Structure 1
């Protein structure tokens, strides 16, 4: 399932690193191997060297499009209609 902490971090628009299989890079996260702190450190360093540790709307757009409260209410109403 999607971790709410990751969704909140994505909504902030800042870089998010996760090992959760529920998220994909298309959603705006950077993936690392679960439990592999060297992999995480390498991904952070690589993003830093490429100048990618900056605000980005991709993650926040994903969250507002798919997990916004209004979207959730519409899905619930449609389900029970």
Structure 2
């Protein structure tokens, strides 16, 4: 699933921030997803929120990805390849 597709579903707020070290993607799943879980496995960010599961591919140009969820807000930090 691409980020643009995820943003269209249920009108989620999605933001992407760029800097010299890489980029950060922030997606607000809403308060109902406060107990959602997230994990990065083999270049894919997996989010499980209730009965829903989302898969987001990490861009190929990212050398490393870390993701965490807090209060229904998913943050994905992507480190740029050197």
Tell me the TM-score normalized by structure 1. 0.23
Tell me the TM-score normalised to structure 2 length: 0.23
- Specify which structure has the higher proportion of helix: 1
Q: More strand by proportion, 1 or 2?
A: 2
Name which one, 1 or 2, has greater alpha-carbon Rg: 1
